[in-house]
Homo-oligomer: A and B are copies of this chain.
């Protein structure tokens, strides 16, 4: 049992170290020797857990996909409905991209066109945004004359833009930027609705 625990801990340290190196250098230039040194394990231990660099990158992507699934998991009905859930999840995703290197590296790896076959994290996010806007439309919360199909591309594109710009400059992931985005969009999407643009994680006064 102790041995299994240690193995799981070593694996987790390798995934984290790999995420740090991939996020900083990109997949292609990253070196397995740098990753194992950073995790504090031998090259042999690395190869015991992961066949090659691609397997390590895949583990980072799958771990990021799990964390994204938690961010977009069903939550208790909110006064602002599906739109509030969408606003809150946008704040949570940008916070994770800023603070959790596994999520950051997972999104970068998943978007790397030279790699194939892994989870499509942006595609998962996109599908969830579209579902939330569809739910908001069914709830009767969207502005008159506005459909969820009309609104979704702008919200998907902007949130992907914040994600991408945040890789080079974390300021794009800040609660201030995301709140500003929703302050701009919400009066157009759902005028008069009680949706809080700051999300649940912001402690600045409303």
Instruction: Write the residues of chain A forming the contact surface with B, with a CB cutoff of 8 angstroms.
Output: 24-29, 111-114, 122, 146, 150-151, 153-154, 156-162, 164-165, 167-168, 172, 177, 180-181, 183-185, 187-188
Contacts and interface: CB of A to CB of B under 8 A. Distances in A.
Contact of A29 (B28, B164, B168, B185): B28
Contacts of A153: 172, 177, 180-181
A113 B28 contact: no
14 contacts: A26-B113, A26-B114, A27-B28, A28-B28, A111-B164, A113-B167, A122-B165, A150-B180, A150-B183, A153-B177, A154-B158, A154-B184, A157-B157, A157-B162
Contact of A157 (B26, B28, B181): B181
B185 A154 contact: yes
B167 A154 contact: no
Contacts of A28: 26-29, 114
Given A154-B184, A157-B172, 8 more contacts: A26-B113, A26-B114, A154-B181, A154-B185, A157-B157, A157-B159, A184-B188, A185-B188
Mostly helix, strand, loop or mixed at chain A's interface?
helix
Contacts of A113: 24-26, 167-168
A114 B29 contact: yes
A92 B165 CA distance: 21
Most chain-B Cβ atoms within 10 A of its Cβ — which of A29, A113, A157, A180? A157
A23 B97 CA distance: 26
Nearest to A113: B26
Given A28-B26, A158-B161, A165-B157, A150 B184 contact: yes
A107 to B, nearest CB: 11
Contacts of A168: 111, 113
Contacts of A164: 111, 160-161, 164
Contacts of A112: 26
